[in-house]
Amino acid sequence: MKALRTRGGLSLRLDIRASVVVAVLLCAALAASVLLIGTGDFRIPAADVVRTLLGNGDPGQEFIVNDLRLPRVLVGLLVGAALALGGALFQAISRNPLGSPDILGLGQGATAGALVMIVLFSGSAVQVAAGALAGGLVTGFGIYLLAWRRGVHGYRLVLVGIGMSAVMTAVNGYLLTKADIVDAARATVWMAGSLDGRGWDQVRPLLVLCAVLVPVVLTYARPLRMLEMGDDVASALGVRVERTRLVLLVAAVLLTAAATSAAGPVGFVALTAPQLARRLTRSPGPNIAASMCMGAALLVTADWISQRAFGADRLPVGVVTGVVGGVYLLWLLVSERKAGRI
Amino acid sequence: MLVDSPPEQRAVTAVAPPNRRAIRGAGLLGAVVVLLLLLVASIAIGAKPLSVGQVWHGLFDDTGTFGDVVVGERLARTLLGLLAGVALGLSGAVLQALTRNPLADPGLLGINMGASAAVVTAISFFGVTSLSGYVWFAFLGAAAVGVLVYVLGGTRNATPVRLALAGTAISAALYGYLQAVMVMDDAALGKMRFWTVGSLVSADMTTLRQVLPFIAVGSVLALALARPLNAMAMGDDTARALGARLNRTRALSMAAATLLCGAATAACGPIVFVGLMVPHVVRSFTGPDLRWILPFSAVLSPVLLLAADIAGRLVARPAEVQVGIVTAVIGGPVFICLVRRRKVTQL
């Protein structure tokens, strides 16, 4: 931690370790993106990818890179960042590392919306995305209202979310049994979370949403840090507790629902990215920038792994993040036990 | 979520006046009567309604009429509902006592997911197609995950929190595997989507005979553990001072819960919330004494399961809604109410 002072009396605190971590993660995410663009049925060396992205490639490569693969990678980066930011906010608000949107049933709610569109209306991709967005938003605000009792308390939010998640899982199971096998297969791929066939149509709304919400979240980052010390301390320090929580929850729900409607409920990014970022920066608080870069890097790397290991578009990215996330949790368990913390 | 339940008040039951014990005994008897009525109702109600006389005829004087055939068909699913209900209720009560967490549930220790992963493996890689074939795989998966959770949770010095975390982590990893298989293999998806919702529809006598011994052994074990678990509820140090053998009790409790829940999941797929809800409701009127909670849970869980099954048959006649879906749709709101009603410090 270092303080920068100007002559005019302005000062800025700079956490050097955190800044380095953000820079490294950002580079990692971009490097993984370049690799991912070069991967597929037609392989392109990384140097050519970079040259094409800068506008100096040959026309054939330009078509493949800019029109086919770049939007997909951008969706991956944006979805990863949005999920991680939503997860970081939820975890900070519920003061619980397990309080991520996966556990709270937002993913299940969005899935229910998407399944209704797929199974009952055989909807197009756009309709499915709209259904998922609506499902996620309704579930998110339902959880908030049900958990409201003279304010929202962290544990109650998590527990209400777990109950909601179970109900939504049952609804999804019912819809799956009602579907014919073609719809069911389509629904399963969607439920795993996949970047297959995503393009500029998904990039634009996500980009706009992130451009609006990230500044909002950043202005509330300081009150959020205070909130982690407990409601009483925070309000004594002048934080408007309920308003902060409401604004941030709305932002988190919007981000998660939008990301889910773009790529499906990709598991565990929201749970693991903020935790990993926190361990790397070793600083308390939600670590917003580091979490977002970590989420983007994780998602794109996972997609690259799934493409390299199993061939193009055989295995949705959500499956890879699910397995990696589970293994990460186990490792966390073993290491925490060795350190004697649990 | 992972907080100790209120301290055990064993003294209350020890000095409970006789009339209080009589009330509880009468309550248990009343619950058994309700269960018997539901057993009959479960045979009588369905796409082809039967009268009580016809049910009696089919059960004790089978002459092969149409009604008698229907009774035979429904008898298997009713008995399976009974067995699975007993197993889920007891395993939930034991797990809540073991982890000292009123929100513990067989799903929490990864047992459901272990069974699901094993069944999907059986379908996709070994080509098993019949339900009686899944049973062994489901059981093996549940048992393997039960042991693994116990080992990862720290065997000798397993704490409630560690067990719950190990269960969550293993479930998470297995869920990824389950989805990978279902995405790549349409045939497995076609079967799994019906198995994972939890249903009594495909019950038959073969399945019943396969799981009965496990549920019987598990139930006896669970009921016998009431006293040591009561002692453990007071905290490890006090329990040790009272002469309870902590490690043995923990290992036996895990074994009982795995046997019961594994058998129930193997026979009818993962059914959530029964094991969570029933012991919770029971505790609200019996108090924390497991010698009452366990028998009440064993009687009231099948009541809930059979009622949900009957409701599922009635709402979508002549088709039906699977029992696992009905329990989750009823159980979710009840769970949310419980969470809202209780003071946060108690959770």
Average pLDDT by stretches of 10, chain A with 342 residues: 74 81 92 86 81 81 82 92 92 78 84 90 85 92 84 74 84 87 85 82 88 91 84 86 88 92 85 86 82 93 85 76 79 71 55
Q: By C-alpha distance, which of A266, A216, A263 is closest to A102?
A: A266
Ordered by where they begin, the domains of chain A are 2-338 (1.10.3470.10)
Rounded to a whole number of angstroms, the distance from the CA of A59 to the nearest CA of chain B is 35
Residue A1's pLDDT is what? 65
Task: Say yes or no: B347 contacts chain A, CB-CB below 8 A.
Answer: yes
Highest mean pLDDT: which range of A205-214, B103-112, B145-154, B280-289 = A205-214
Residue B194's pLDDT is what? 81
Task: Say yes or no: B101 contacts chain A, CB-CB below 8 A.
Answer: no
Give A188's contacts in chain B (Cβ within 8 Å): 179, 182-183, 189
Q: What confidence tens digit (pLDDT) does each residue in B213-263 have?
A: 999 999 999 999 998 888 888 887 888 888 888 888 888 888 898 889 888
- Identify the residue among B165, B271, B322 best suited for mutation to test binding to A, counting A beta carbons within 10 A and taking the highest: B165
Name the H helices within A193-316: 200-219, 221-227, 231-236, 241-263, 269-281, 288-310
Residue A266's pLDDT is what? 85
Q: What confidence tens digit (pLDDT) does each residue in B125-166 have?
A: 887 777 777 788 888 898 888 888 878 776 656 566 667 667
User: Which of A153, A176, A342 lies nearest to residue B162, judging by beta carbons?
Assistant: A342
Q: By mean pLDDT, which of A27-36, B82-91, B92-101 is the weakest?
A: B92-101
Q: What angle do CA A101, A103, A105 make, to 5 degrees?
A: 70
Residue B198's pLDDT is what? 81
Higher pLDDT, B129 or B79: B79
Largest CA distance in chain B: 64
Q: Chain centroid to CA A135: how far? A: 17
Q: How far is CA B139 from CA A286, B145, B146, B264, B268, in A?
A: 42, 10, 10, 9, 12
Name the H helices within chain A: 16-38, 46-53, 59-62, 70-94, 101-104, 106-115, 121, 125-147, 154-178, 181-192, 200-219, 221-227, 231-236, 241-263, 269-281, 288-310, 317-338
- How many Cβ contacts (< 8 angstroms) between chains A and B? 148
Percent share of chain B, pLDDT over 90: 15
Delimit the domains of chain B by residue range.
10-346
Give yes or no for residue B10 having a pLDDT over 60.
no
User: B10-346, what's its fold?
Assistant: ABC transporter involved in vitamin B12 uptake, BtuC (1.10.3470)
Residue B347's pLDDT is what? 38
Assembly ipTM? 0.74
Q: What is the pTM for the complete model shown?
A: 0.80
- Please state, as a whole number, how many other Cβ atoms lie within 10 Å of the Cβ of residue A137: 21
Residue A339's pLDDT is what? 67
Q: How confident is the model at residue B4 (pLDDT cuts 50, 70, 90)?
A: very low
User: Inter-chain contact B172–A319, Cβ cutoff 8 Å?
Assistant: no
Q: What confidence tens digit (pLDDT) does each residue in B297-313 have?
A: 999 999 999 999 999 88
For helices B160-184 and B186-195, give the axis angle rounded to 10 degrees.
140
